[in-house]
Chain A
Amino acid sequence: MTPGKRVAVTSPQTRLARSRRRARGHGELLRGDPLEAEHAAGLYRAQRRRAVLALVLLFTLLFGLTAVFAVFPALDEIRLLGIPLSWLALGVLPYPAMVLLSGWHLRRAEHVEEQ
């Protein structure tokens, strides 16, 4: 027996799987199932409604706060424990507000999927 080049022996299934992996990303999402479409569209609309509300709240908090600072410069003078109120409103307030908003939205988004 002559020593030849070693060749990998694979089943056709493996070759298929390999070529599929190489084509990864090429429109995998585009192979949809029409039966699913209605269910998915309902989910999508429910999630979109909740997303819009959460974003409106987030933007109101952030852009509203800048407006408050601009309109009421007196907030720099009022002090709580010696610290200007406007510093606290910027350095502390947004964080608990955003944590609460995230938790609230997470619950609602998961609730939609559980139904």
Chain B
Amino acid sequence: MVAVLAVAPVVLMTLLIGLRGVAAMRTTSDFLVASRRISPLLNSAAVSGEYLSAASFLGVAGLMVKSGVGALWYPVGYTAGYVAMLVLVAAPMRRSGALTVPDFAEARLASPALRRLAAVVVLTIGGLYLVPQFRTAGLVLSMVGHTPYWVGVVIAGVTVSTTLALGGMRAATYVQAFQFCLKLVLFLVPAVWLLLQAGAATRHDAVHPVEFTHFTHDTPVVFRTDVTLQIHTDTTVRTPHGDTIVLQAGTQRIAAGRTLIFPAGTPAPETRGGTAPDDPDWQRPLLDLHGTGHPVLSTWGVLMATMLGTMGLPHVLVRFHTSPHGRAARQTAALTVGLLSVFYLLPGIYGALGRVLMPHLYLSGATDTVVVALPAQVDSGWVGTLFTVLLTAGAFAAFLATSLGLLLVVSGAISHDLAPGGLVRLRSTVIAAAAAVVLLALPAAGVDAGILVTWAFTVAAATFCPLLVFGIWWSRLTVAGAISGVLVGLLGSAGTIAVALFGPPLAGWPALLVAQPALWAVPLAFTTMAVVSLIGQPPPRSAAAMLRLHLDPSRSPHDRRPASRH
């Protein structure tokens, strides 16, 4: 019931707004970039709505419960990405006249091979980013509505693909802008209520964290994924049916779906692979990933991945192409910094409260759900339920808005860049791509949204970021340089992800370099691109092509063509 109340209005609203975009859609340009007629304010709301994904709405607070205050570096990096975008990319990118990032690559360097490679990168980033959105939709719905995991995944897939196939970018714009406002309200109001409702003692505890070593009250833990616990002394727990089980010291594997009640006073077990929030470093404002002992380097790695990755996210870049001209694209980026800044003041509140009220959440393998689980923890009556509904609705809006943008660029990469086709092919690709992502998301329940999304950022930072920075600001860039740089970045970051997913557990330096590949993959991609370019000769008229990106067509003395040519 709660789930229906929360999700149905958001899904219906998305579909209804989506229908608005159906009118006047005839060309690929209409579908991909909404005919380039979106004003900066609407566009920045849409950019923010699209950008605040499951990772922002739920993931940051979850990461904070799990790894500490340092998790707040993620939103700082996410916002800083738009400052970098404003400074380096927004206006020149729009002036290229391209529809997608692969389009831009080909327009700048006249290389179809580079275009295809860029399309493959778009698909990699899109996949890494879409799967956690759908996965978290399934997880949140299963927690709030007690539905099986796959139901939420399928609902997300169907809603997003229908809206997009019907309305394209124009529909996506209105939906995302609306959902930004929705998300801001649905995140802000419960945060204030939680702070007031939690009481002075909880608020005091939230800013004076103590180590989490024992359960302070009888605590039911619902294991949503398979978890391996490390137990230090024999622990007696109860099941919901009243049976008692003794978990013996050592490692214990708990299957997904089980509920165990840890009595008050029981020592808290640790999970393998994750860090328990009992670390004295929890309150340090630096991120020590996997306890490798290099917090400053770890934090820089996260900053590089999130900030430079934002600059290369294809679904964000395509939003700048919906601006009528370069200046509007630049204004959009600047306004987005403001809108995101307001939103990102909030996840810390959820994280700090979640750390006091539900520190055990890391055991269930679903710290991502801390935001939606908090209201019930604070108030077991109807008010708590109401706020659970509001936050679930907000979370669903987050999945839908982000998935819309991503599915659009994934379909664009397939049906515009790899195998050019018309509008009909674009629309059917949307459906097929959504189905593929649903199939990928079904076995992915156990992977943290925050981690997958950070990988997507890392791939973007190591491929498109150098390509755009050099493409826009360096006339000596050659085709060979661009291709080799993007390839090195793609193979480096994707290879590391494979090691992290399937490789053996690591410790020390290798663990840090695998946990945060941006630290070495991004400089490596930049260097490769620069060195290979310096060896070769840039294409003829390459300097003119670059300079043209910095020319405001409406003000140029010789060029009076209208700003929008498609």
Contact = CB atoms under 8 A, between A and B. Distances in A.
A95 B344 contact: yes
Contact of A109 (B91, B98, B303, B342): B91
Contacts of A74: none
Nearest to B550: A44
Nearest to A53: B87
A55 B84 CA distance: 7
A73 interface: yes
B97 A28 contact: yes
A109 B84 contact: no
Interface in B316-342: 327, 330-331, 333-334, 337-338, 341-342
A69 B82 contact: no
A87 B552 CA distance: 42
Contacts of A70: 286, 295-296
A92 B558 CA distance: 47
A102 B91 CA distance: 14
Contacts of B192: none
Nearest to B71: A90
Interface string B106-120: 111010000100000
Interface string A17-35: 0000000111111111111
Interface string A83-115: 110110111101110110111011001100110
B238 interface: no
Contacts of B344: 95
B524 to A, nearest CB: 19
Contacts of B473: 48, 51
B557 interface: yes
Nearest to B475: A44
B106 A25 contact: yes
Contacts of B299: 66
Given A27-B110, A86-B285, A109-B330, A62 B307 contact: yes
A62 B303 contact: yes
Dominant secondary structure at the B interface: helix
Given A36-B559, A106-B331, A26 B83 contact: no
A90 B545 contact: no
Given A36-B551, A62-B76, A106-B334, A89 B285 contact: yes
B555 to A, nearest CB: 6
B545 A32 contact: yes
Nearest to B549: A29
Contacts of B96: 29
A39 B286 contact: no
Interface residues of A, number: 58
Contact of B82 (A24, A40, A102): A102
A105 B549 contact: no
A40 B548 CA distance: 7
A16 interface: no
Contact of A43 (B99, B108, B551): B551
Given A36-B559, A47-B550, A90 B97 contact: no
Contacts of B285: 69, 75-76, 86-87, 89-90
Given A82-B204, A102-B334, A32 B300 contact: no
B327 A99 contact: no
A9 interface: no
Dominant secondary structure at the A interface: helix
Nearest to A55: B87
A103 B82 CA distance: 12
B45 to A, nearest CB: 16
A29 B545 contact: yes
A33 B558 contact: yes
B274 interface: no
A7 interface: no
B79 interface: yes
Among B84, B98, B548, the most chain A Cβ lie within 10 Å of the Cβ of B548
B285 to A, nearest CB: 4
B303 A58 contact: no
Nearest to B298: A66
Contacts of B207: 79, 82-84, 87
A55 B272 CA distance: 40
B530 interface: no
Contacts of A8: none
B296 A96 contact: no
A37 interface: yes
A102 B332 CA distance: 11
A1 interface: no
Contacts of B255: none
A106 B106 contact: no
Contact of A30 (B99, B103, B348, B544): B544
Nearest to B111: A27
Contacts of B559: 33, 36
A106 B547 contact: no
B72 interface: yes
A72 B505 CA distance: 33
Contacts of B566: 24
Contacts of A41: 547
Interface in B392-442: none
B227 to A, nearest CB: 29
Interface of A: 24-37, 39-41, 43-44, 47-48, 51, 54-55, 58, 62-63, 66-67, 69-70, 73, 75-76, 79, 82-84, 86-87, 89-92, 94-96, 98-99, 101-103, 105-106, 109-110, 113-114
Interface of B: 69-70, 72-73, 76-77, 79-80, 82-84, 86-88, 91, 96-99, 103, 106-108, 110, 115, 204, 207, 283-286, 295-296, 299-300, 303, 307, 327, 330-331, 333-334, 337-338, 341-342, 344-345, 348, 473, 539-552, 555-559, 566
10 nearest CB pairs, A to B: A32-B544, A95-B341, A40-B547, A29-B545, A27-B110, A91-B348, A102-B337, A106-B334, A90-B285, A44-B550
9 contacts: A26-B106, A26-B107, A26-B110, A35-B558, A36-B556, A37-B543, A51-B88, A82-B207, A90-B70
Given A25-B115, A40-B548, A87-B207, 5 more contacts: A58-B80, A63-B303, A90-B69, A91-B345, A94-B80
